[in-house]
Amino acid sequence: MQEISDPANRTVVFTYNDNGNLSTVQDVYGGITQYNYDAHGLTDIIDTESNHIIQNTYDSISRVISQTDAKGNQTQFAYDPEAQQTTVTDPLGNSVTINYDEKYRIAAMNYPDNISESFTYDENNCRTSVTDKNGHKITYTYDNMGNMLTKTQPVPFNYTTAFVYDSLNNPVQVTDAAGYVTDYTYDERGNLLSVSKAVYGGTVITSFSYDQFGQAINITDPNDNSTSVTYDVYGNRTSVTGPLGNTTTYTYDIIGRKITKTGPRGNEPDANPELHCYSYTYDQAGNVLTVTDPLGNVTTNTYDANNNLISTTDPNGNTTTFTYNENSKLVTETDPHGNTTTYQYDTNGNLSSITDANGHITSYQYDALDRFVSTMYPDGNTENLTLDGNGNVLARTNSKGNTTNYQYDELNRLIKITDPAGGSIAMQYDPLGNQTGVTDQRGNTTTYTYDQASKLLSVTDSLDNTTSYTYDPVGNRLTETNPKGATWIYTYDAANRPVKTTGPLGHDSSVQYDSAGNVITSTNTNEASTSFSYDALNRLLSVTDTLDNTTDYTYDGNHNLTGVTDANEHTTNYTFDSMNRLVAITNPLGQTTNYSYDPVGNRVTRTKPDGNSINYSYDSNNRLVEITYPDSNQVSFNYDANGNRTAMTDPKGTTVYSYDNLDRLTSVTRAVYSIDYNYDLAGNITGITYPDGLNISYTYNRLNQLQSVSDIVYTATFTYDELGNIIGEELPNGITVSYQYDDNGRLTSLQHVNGDTVLTGVEYTLDNVGNRLSVTDENGQTTSYTYDNLNQLTKVKYLDDNPVTYTYDPVGNRLSAGGVNYTYDSVNRLIQKGGIPYGYNANGNLVSVGESVYYDYDYEDRLVRFNDGNNTYRYTYDGDGNRLTQTVSGVVYGSYSYIYDINAGLPLLLVEKDSEGNTNNYLYANGLYGRTGPEGRLFHHADGLGSVSVVSDVYGEELNRYTYDPFGNPLTVNETVDNMFRFTGEPYDPSGLVFLRARYYDPSTGRFLTQDIYSGELNTPLSQNLYIYCSNNPVVYIDPSGNIKICQLDDLGKGLWDSGGEAVRELMSSPGALWELSKAIYRNELSKEDLILALGSAGADIAGTINYVWKHSDSVWVGNPSDKEVYEYGRNLGDVLQIAAGSGAALKAISKVAPKAAGALGKGTSKSILKEASQSAFKAADNVSDFSVSNKHLMDAGGRWQKFATTDKGQVNTWVQEGLRSGNAQFLPNNQEASYKIITDLGKTIGTKGETKIQVIIGADGKIWTAYPVK
């Protein structure tokens, strides 16, 4: 063969030497690859860029004895015919010896470090056993045709999978290790017609039909919903039509390359397809040159002669460039700003270091089997792994030298994790690899059951509370029944999208979709609907709420949000740099906040509208080390080897932090105090020692729920229902507290009882979405509430039948309350109330009310001075924004200092000391419950919102009583002792303001003094008002952070924990990191689009879950969610984060906005990989027939552009299966996508460049994505 030409007139030319050996291959560009020979064989291959990609030398009998790659790295081969063995020595000097049996079949592979594996065969050369590198044997039997009949796992399990074949050698029945049977049928041409399995009490069938060419034209799922496919005459797929008739169409050029893709919205009746069409162009080699989206935005790529991507230019014209070494490995990546990241490799081709754009180096080391074992970070600290023969991680030693140990069973399943403190977590599995039990460090076990399809059927906790699930034949979850018997019902459309949720009380919420799967209408359980519109790229264009208020959004070509026009037609603009980083926010008044970044993306300056700039500095590990303010004051931070903050120095002094060997905070020390913490093996706090020596101890039940709080004199106990809701408290002063909930898990009654007397109590009636319609107190007096369809409070009616009404503008600004009118500017700043003017500075901080009230702020926009016309209040803060002091002068005088428990997620006020030395220690247990001080032990009794209604003494006698209006204004105050905790259980200052950590709340206006730093959720425009409190629903919600309205944090935590991921559980051990990430999601700093892009194809696979999380973040943080909805949000968030934790690109995206969270997820990643990837590997091996290797990975006639040294896809699948089943596998996260890399050395040449290892990429769904040979 001398040349090949395709229909596009592309030609590849071949020449040969006198011996008939291939001499040159000229590609479609004219580039020539040259092949040289001597008498023994091929000696040299020179590519189109003159790289000698292979150089072989031979012994006297024409056996290759050395092979040198383009970088000069040499692999050597030695032969011992008498011993029937071959030794391969890699460029680093590590040797593998291959022993052969009498038929020259591989009998054993002997690796460095005394690791080996062995193989046996039958007379037909079928492999009958594999003894893996840990000495565990898997056995196989075959029929006379070489079809595998059984596969039996190592002892003591001996799990057997059995196969039955028809006369054409098609597998017609598979009995898995649990005894479950799957049947297959075929047509006369061998096309698969059906797959059936006994599941859900019936037979689940997926069926297929084909055209005359054997192309699948219809797939019918077990719910009898069909997807149809059409093809052109060349076999290219031209359309896919889903069960609802939504069609995606494709066109191709004459050589089968996709040139257009038109989504379902472009194929609707009367639609213009061009407005929903992506188009593609290619170079002569088939590389994608341009991608043009439906809006005309173009992404452009260029390539070198070896088809490596060398530049990509985004739709905004920003170009990223890449360079490669002689082996086509990435060497540099230069961003549009000219910042370069450099990659280096060892002589075996393993990535050895990454130098970031700031010149900081992260290094990696590998063992003699090329398995990753060590990371050295830029600061010189290292993390090390110890591996067993199969590559399972036996020990992980962190940068502080603390080691976590791991144990595995004979099937390489993780069965025990022992942390550096000696605490152990144990796991159990069923024959299919499903996790059936987890026993925590305290011996508490959670068990799981599954159906025949490995769908979770039930979860039973250590107190025997069971949650159960049912599914439809496709696997959609139909019902969920909690331990109290309450059931949620889920309904899906034919495309398996959730369309309706029915709660235990019979209330429905629903969504509707367009043909592309975008939610276009969302209707809550009160039948209030919100509608959404999208552009041709399916980006959210507008939201119209149930009151017909519309908010509009605009984007640039890179999908960055560039404008938000609110329902009052005021626009906020956003500007991004060439790296798609936010560099400016300009509000409707033209006031701008600017940001700048260092070469690796750390934000280094923030310049506010008043012109003041705050500068940020980072260490080599990209940790914040210094904040510098315009007055030259600084806040600095120090860290230990594991990244824990060890010190913070601010203008008020230095705070020192200590940690145990599990990185748990053990002490916080400042010049005048120290706080100490103790933990049990499960990480529960068992003791806190206050600065004055007071020691509070905590015990927990088998679900790790707080059971008791005590000191040397007093003990309080707590009980919970089957769902984990607190139902009872017994306080040391004899008062008992009882809670009741409805079937949706919403609080309906709360009573504080002393003997036969109800000290204080509330009974709630609720609407369908959870709004409190009425509150009846212990005296039988009822207050009723009315809401609009946005759940904003519109009326409160007291016992005296004198209602107060509230009205709002389209963006949530209060227009009137009780006959008082309010007006606002275009940035939603209150500028007049009842004729009294309000003034602001350029940063949006309230600076004056009328002519006698003034406010001053520091550079962080924290209130530092407030003069109300009679008194002046002054405040100081530490570097984290915790308030340290409050001083009052004028008509009233006083000075107070504060100490916080920063180990509780949100900082909790622990100690208050006045100017006379009087000290109050505050006690917490499921919220504030008491204090010790000059008046002795006092107890706080709260309503369902957490607002303190009564303070009692040690005898249970009432000392103080409070009532409030809905927004927290005191209605009655009867005090005999001082008490600072009032509305929502937060500090109520003498100034009348409520201190909510990040900001001060003014109950008299229902607004904050300063704007929120979080811009809100796109799906819920009301959340974008930066001043209003709790979305104008203060009867249900609280805002303890001063940033985001929240409710039901316990339910969020339960959901996250139940997602089951080790990485997520690692994140939960750091409440601050979890809070940081939650805020980033809520304010859309981490957009769902960015995460999906970073996750690659796995992002597409879990896009539904990602969309669920981002869509429901508004409901959780600013809506009216039930406890169940919060739980589900947490569980879905956990699922997303567990996948993201296995993706380097996703972790990088997270680290930009939530570095603590990224670090915590990263720590947990290895546990997830070990548990999930190993299970995925075994499942994937059993389903290898579902995988078809890309033609581009198979060898062509010239060995060009390809990878595997075969043209037989069946042979590749055999190698894939062999690699996955051998147990000789190294599990790693795939850095580019949420998936796993499984690398196995097969001990034989499988690649066109002499590769002996196979790398298989398996998605988190257990499916094989791709496979190719590696060195």
Q: Which residue has the higher pLDDT, 984 or 202?
A: 984
Closest by CA position to 110, among listed 122, 102, 100: 100
The predicted pLDDT at position 467 comes to 95
pTM score of the predicted model: 0.85
Q: Does pLDDT of 571 surpass 80?
A: yes
Give the SS3 label for residue 1049. Answer: helix
- Listed range (820-829, 1011-1020, 1060-1069) with the worst mean pLDDT: 1060-1069
Does residue 1201 or residue 714 have the better pLDDT? 714
CA distance 318 to 339: 13
The whole-number pLDDT of residue 83 equals 78
Residue 956 pLDDT exceeds 70:
yes
- Ordered DSSP codes for 815-840: EEETTEEEEE-TT--EEEETTEEEEE
**Helix (H), strand (E) at residue 992:** none
Tracing tokens 């700043």 back to the chain, one arrives at: 829
What is the distance in angstroms between the CA of the first residue and the CA of the last residue of the chain?
31
Chain-wide mean pLDDT for the chain? 88
Q: Please answer whether residues 229 and 218 qualify as being in contact, where contact means their C-beta atoms are separated by less than 8 angstroms.
A: yes
Using CA atoms, how far residue 117 sits from 429, 653, 1061, in Å, is: 25, 61, 32
**b/e map 15-40, b = 16+ CB within 10 Å:** eeeeeeebbebbbbeeebbbbeeeeb
Distances (CA, A) of 900 to 498, 664, 908, 1041: 44, 17, 5, 14
Copy the structure tokens of residue 887: 């001083």
- Report the C-alpha gap between 292 and 1121 in whole angstroms: 40
pLDDT tens sequence across 107-162: 999 999 999 999 999 999 999 999 999 999 999 999 999 999 999 999 999 999 99
Taking 80 as the threshold, does the pLDDT of residue 469 lie above it? yes
What CATH number belongs to 1183-1271? 3.10.450
**CA dist 975 → 105, 865, 959, 994 (Å):** 91, 27, 6, 18
1170-1193 per-position pLDDT tens digit: 334 434 444 444 454 445 555 545
Q: Is the pLDDT of residue 1072 over 60?
A: no
1211-1232 per-position pLDDT tens digit: 566 566 556 644 444 444 444 3
Annotate 578-601 with DSSP letters as a single string.
Answer: TTS-EEEEE-TTS-EEEEEE-TTS
Please, which residues have CB within 8 angstroms of residue 429's CB and are 6 or more apart in sequence?
A: 409, 411, 413, 415, 435, 436
- pLDDT band, very low/low/confident/very high, at 1141 (cuts 50, 70, 90): low
pLDDT of residue 1016: 81
Q: Please, is 917 exposed, middle or buried when counting C-beta atoms within 10 Å of its C-beta (0-12, 13-18, 19+)?
A: exposed
Contact 142, 126 (CB under 8 A): yes
State the Cα–Cα distance between residues 227 and 242, nearest whole angstrom: 5
Contact 1024, 554 (CB under 8 A): no
Strand 424-429 vs strand 435-439: parallel, antiparallel, or unpaired?
Answer: antiparallel
pLDDT tier at 1140, thresholds 50, 70, 90:
confident
pLDDT of residue 369: 95
Helix (H) or strand (E) holding 345: strand 340-345
Please state whether beta strands 908-914 and 894-901 pair in parallel, antiparallel, or not at all (unpaired). antiparallel
Whole-angstrom distance, CA of residue 576 vs CA of residue 591: 16
Contact (CB, 8 A) for 1210 and 1168:
no
Tell me what percent of the residues of the chain surpass a pLDDT of 90: 78
Cis bond before residue 156 (omega within 30° of 0): yes
What is the helix (H) or strand (E) element at residue 1118, kind and residue range? helix 1103-1118
Q: Which two tokens stand for residue 1252?
A: 């002996």
C-alpha pair distances (Å), 831 with each of 592, 785, 823, 836, 1004: 20, 28, 6, 8, 14
The beta strand positions in 948-1005, using DSSP E, are 948-952, 958-964, 970-974, 994-996, 999-1002
Q: What is the DSSP string of 436-476?
A: EEEE-TTS-EEEEEE-TT--EEEEE-TT--EEEEEE-TT--
Distance CA(1037)–CA(112), nearest Å, equals 62
Q: Which pLDDT score is estimated for 1263?
A: 57
3-state secondary structure of 1071: helix
- Residue 616's alpha-carbon distances to 47, 593, 597, 789, 1083, in angstroms, are 48, 16, 9, 44, 21
Residue-wise pLDDT for 248-302, tens only, equals: 999 999 999 999 999 999 999 999 999 999 999 999 999 999 999 999 999 999 9
For 1104-1119, the pLDDT digits (tens) are 567 667 656 655 654 4
Mean pLDDT of all residues in 361-388: 95
Given a cut of 80, whether residue 60 has pLDDT beyond it is yes
Report whether 1199 contacts 1248 (CB < 8 A). yes
The number of residues in the chain equals 1271
Question: 732 with 937: CB under 8 angstroms?
Answer: yes
How far, in Å, CA of 1069 to CA of 273, rounded? Answer: 50
Element (H, E) at 560: none
Question: Cα(739)–Cα(716) distance, rounded to whole angstroms?
Answer: 16
Between CA 585 and CA 576 the distance in angstroms is: 9
Query: What's the whole-number mean pLDDT along residues 862-881?
Result: 97
CA angle 938, 941, 945 (to 5 degrees): 140
pLDDT digits (tens, 9 = 90+) for 4-28: 998 888 899 999 999 999 999 999 8
- The whole-number pLDDT of residue 1175 equals 41
Q: Work out the percent of the chain whose per-residue pLDDT is above 70.
A: 84
The predicted structure's pLDDT at residue 465 = 96
Tokens of 448: 């799981």
pLDDT for 1041 equals 87
Instruction: State pLDDT tens for residues 815-837.
Output: 999 999 999 999 999 999 999 99
Q: Higher confidence at residue 966 or residue 1225?
A: 966
pLDDT at 1064: 61
Q: In what order do the strands lie in the sheet with 1226-1229?
A: 1226-1229, 1235-1241, 1253-1259, 1264-1270
